[in-house]
Every structure is written in C-alpha cells, then in structure tokens.
Structure 1
Amino acid sequence: MNTDLDLPPVGLGTMGLDGDEGAAAVRTALDVGYRHLDTAQVYENESSVGTGLAAAVEADVVAREDVTVATKTWIDRLAPDEVRPSTAASLDRIGVDAVDLLYVHRPKGGYEPAGTLAAFDALVDDGLVGHVGVSNFERDELAEAIDLLDAPLAAHQTEYHPLFRRPALREHAVEHGYPLVAYSPLAGGRVREVEAVRTVAERHGATPEAVSIAWLADKEGVVTIPKASSEAHLRANLAAADLDLDPEDHERIDGIEREEELFPE
C-alpha cells in the first residue's frame, strides 16, 4: 500500500443513523468490534457518531486511537477557503481533535482540484486530518487527485454492490496502493431480490446480505461499510467477511446483467 491507513474489511456506514438511536447504534457497533466509522457533513449525524464514539471510549470499550473516524466534506464546502472552517465544524460536532480520514465527497460544487486538495493537504500538515480520501471519483479524476496531492491518496469511496460493479475503479485502487471503500454493499436491500446472490447464499446456508459483503471483502483492495443499527445485524455484517466464497460464486455474481446505481450524480 502507498498509504499507511489500515482499514478493516467491514466498517460501519452511518447514513441515516442519527439522534439518540444513531448514537446508540455506533456505541453498539464499537462494542461488538467495529473499528471504522464513516460519516459525512451532509448526513447531518456527525454529532450522533461522536456521541456514540465518546460513550464507548468513556466506558473503556475502545481507545480513540484504535478507531478510524472518517467524514466527508460536502460539495458546498469544497472551495479552498471553505475547507478549513467546515472541517473545524465537523471536528467540533464529532467531538475530536482530528479525524483519521477526510474525503472530498464529490468532485462537484466548489471543488477546484488544485486549490481544494491543497487545502486538504494543509489540514494534514496541521494535524487536523490524518489522511485524505476522495469519494465518487472516476479514473481521470483519481489520476488528477493523485498528481496534485502531497499526501498519498488514502482511500476512494464509491458505490459498489452486485448490481453496480466498478472493476475499473478497483483495478486503479490496487495499482496505486489505496483501498476502495465500497458503500451501499447491500444495494439498499435489493440483493435479496437477485437470483444469482440468492443461489450463492443457498449453497452456503447464508443470507444474501452476508454473501454480498463476503463477495466484496474477498476482492483485493476492497473494504466495505454496510449500515446497520441492531446488534444482530451489526454482528452479522461483521461476521460476513469470514464467509468463504469460491471462484464459481464470484463468477456468478460478477456475471449479473442487471445494473442499478442507487446514488447517481
């Protein structure tokens, strides 16, 4: 890897986890073994994520330094002079001195490649951010970001599931030594409806959700961040990475012809 960021195979996606219930879900996730929390300014739940993290740290469930906390700068705060104040606001909401990973959420809005990424680099230099990532980029945009950043590109987050496969982006991640972070790995629950995924699940006595997570976790360079709130689902998603799929299973899922992108630009 070109980056020293070490992400576990399964982290916690938090979009939609907010308020006291969201904070409780984050605390429970840390209780059962999650060590990567993913939030974003536009989710409007950074405070809930921070509350759950603080509760777990206070209870000696986990040390702060053992948890990768990631957030994303929304497109209306990507102008170079907006990056630092918006990051300071995120840190205040989360209740931390620094985040481990800060993403450009989308290369849209105020995004100015040279100026925006220089502002992200400055945050790393000043110790407010551990690593710089990007999200929802294409290969040409990734190449530009790698060229402009002083810090190594630490991660690329993109939608990736059996109904929306991004092999070219995964290949780029492997080639350049950074992890691809797959969001929405369960396709918003649609994996239950996909015959190929159900067939693989039946072969292994597993759920379609577990198969989808295992299919991603098996791929070189890929980690994933499913969302869950109940302890049962949190545990199941974490354990799914240990499900052993064989090449035939991968071929079956990789060959799905149906395509559905949940979060187009």
Structure 2
Amino acid sequence: MQTITAHGLRMPKLGLGTWRLKGEACTTAVLGALSRGYRHIDTAQMYGNEDAVGEAIAATPVPRADIHLTTKVWWDNLAPAAMQRAMETSLKLLKTDYVDLYLIHWPAPDMDLPAALGQLVAFKEQGLARNIGVSNFNTALLRRAVEEVQAPICCNQVEYHALLDQSKVLGYLRGKDMALTAYCPLAQGRLAEQPELAAIAAKHGATPAQVALKWLLDQDGVAAIPKAGRAESQQANLDALNLTLDDADRAIIAGLPKTTRFVAPAFAPAWDEAA
C-alpha cells in the first residue's frame, strides 16, 4: 500500500469510507477491511458511527499505531468550545486517545476561521490529533487558511472522481505539499454508465470502478476512501491497486465530462472558477 507523506502526515492512499454504515454492519465492515490489509479508516461526527468504528478499533488485532484514523467535526460545531466538546466525544466513541487526522468537515458560512483553525492547532499541540486538515474547502478558503492564518494543515478532503474536475484545488494543494483525499471516488456507482470506462475496464479484465479508482490513486498526493461495506467490494478496491493504466487510458479518462457533483448541500462553499 502506497503512503502519502505531507507535513508529517503518513496516510495510506487507499482507505475505507464509512458514510452511511451504521451499528454492527459498520463494525463488521471495518474489522473486515482491517483483516484484508486496509490501514486507513475514515469516519466523522456527522456519520453517527464513531461508536461502531471504535468497537472495531478496539477489537482488531491490528495495533492502533498501524491504523490511520480520520474523523471530522461538523460545521455547526466550529466555535472553539464546541470543537473541544466534539473532539472529546469523538475520542470517547472511537475508544482511542488520539486520531491521526482531524478535519473541519465543511466550512460554515459565518465561521470564525482563524479561531477554528487555532483550535485545530491546539488539538495537535495537545496530542489529540497527530495531524489536522480541512474538508470541502475551495481554493479561496485554502488560501485564507494557509496563507493568511498560516495554519499547519496537511490535507483537504473533497469530492473527486473521474466525472468531476478538481484540478484547481489539487494544483493548489500540490503547490503547498498538501494531500487531497477523494470522497465519492466511485461517483456513487455511476461509473458503469460510462462506455469509455467500460471499454478500458474490459481491456484490463477489471471493472469501471476499479479503473476509476486506480486513475485517482495513480495521481501524486491523492488518496481515496470509497465506502465498501461488503467483503467483495473491499477486495475489489484492493485489487484495483494491481491495475496498470497506460497513457491512452489516462487520455480517455481525461476526456470524460467532468462537471458532475453529487454532494452539494445548501451550505457548501462556491465552487465556481473564481473560487
């Protein structure tokens, strides 16, 4: 498994996303992923499954130090005191003394960004978070965080897949030696509808999802966290690591329309060209 290193971060490129996994099904999925070799688990306060992830972290024979664990604070908890409570609750539910990466899940329209980032820094200084970052930040917000506030963030988690262009955000992150973690990397199951991806998949004896996942993982500084509750799906995502895409494949994928965004809540930041 390849690892991304950025500002002290060491994060396996392929992780397990847990959005919409709950209870025993979530615990079983995380335990299964860890037994198959996954070492990167992603959760969030908003997912309502930190307790189930914590059960798996406590039960697995894999040492805690070998697991990269990410969680996130929800956008309505970005005042420092609320962030402190959220962190304490997350650690308790996750049955751990620290997380490897703690993110602001979404920017809030009225947030005090310097105060929120300052609290992230405090978590890092206290050893509660080994690394800190953000999620769903456009380039304008990233510039504020990195260049104005000068927060030592190392990662931005955003929707990114073969049908959505993120070159602007990715270019900025690379310029600052920061990682991008792609959520919804399989475009919520829509990839099989793309005949171009199906043709590449047939050429390699793979699936369109595996092709699109390997396309992401081949990119410098990009990790991906597909949700996979079933053992077969987890293994298929691992098997994607064995694919070798060529320049012709990459050119075809580059030519796909890249304007489809599946996650667009009302409180999301502007993703226009000026952002």
TM class by smaller structure? over 0.9
- Displacement of 1:150 in angstroms is 5.9
Aligned to 2:271: none
Question: Could you tell me whether the CA contact under 8 Å between 1:178 and 1:221 is conserved in 2?
Answer: yes
Equivalent residues of 1:113, 1:145 under 8 A apart: yes
The offset of 1:152, in angstroms, is: 2.5
TM value normalised by structure 2: 0.91
* 2:186 match: 186
- Conservation of the 8 A alpha-carbon contact between 1:9 and 1:241: no
Alignment partner, residue 102 of structure 1: 102
Deviations 1:72-126 (A, max 9, x none): 1001111122111111011111111111110011111563111000011111111
Equivalent positions of 1:75-114 (< 5 A) are 75-108=75-108, 111-114=111-114
Residue among 12, 15, 27 paired with 1:23: 27
Asked if structure 1 preserves the Cα contact closer than 8 Å seen for 2:118 and 2:151, the reply is no
Give the match for residue 272 of structure 2: none
The Cα RMSD (Å) is 1.4
Instruction: Describe the SS at the equivalent of 1:130.
Output: coil
**Cα distance in structure 2, aligned partners of 1:3 and 1:238:** 26
Aligned residue in 2 for 1:240? 240
Read off the aligned partner of 2:24 and give its amino acid letter.
Answer: D
Corresponding residue of 2:273? none
Indicate the SS of the match to 1:31.
helix
Residue matched to 1:175: 175
Change in 2 beyond 3 A, CA 1:110/1:128: farther
Identity %: 38
Partner Cα separation in structure 1 for residue 220 and residue 81 of structure 2: 37
Residue of structure 2 aligned with 1:55, choices 52, 55, 59: 59
State the distance in 2 between where 1:132 and 1:215 align.
26
In the alignment of these two chains, the number of paired residues is 261
* Deviation readout 1:240-260 (Å, 9 max, x if unpaired): 122111111111111112632
* Structure 1: unaligned runs, 5 residues or longer: none
The residue identity in structure 2 corresponding to 1:45 is: N
**Is 1:142 the equivalent of 2:146?**
no
Contact 1:75 1:109 (8 Å CA) reproduced: no
Q: 1:258 to 1:138 in 2, by over 3 A?
A: closer
Tell whether 2:46 aligns with 1:42: yes
Asked if 2 retains the 8 angstrom alpha-carbon contact of 1:19 and 1:45, the reply is: yes
| SS of aligned partner of 1:137 | coil
The alignment partner of 2:257 has SS state of coil
1:32 to 31, 36, 54: 36
Q: Show structure 1 runs of 4+ deviating over 6 A.
A: none
Between the aligned partners of 2:55 and 2:110, the Cα distance in structure 1 is 30
Partner Cα distance (2:110, 2:45) in 1: 15
1:260 aligns with 2:264: no
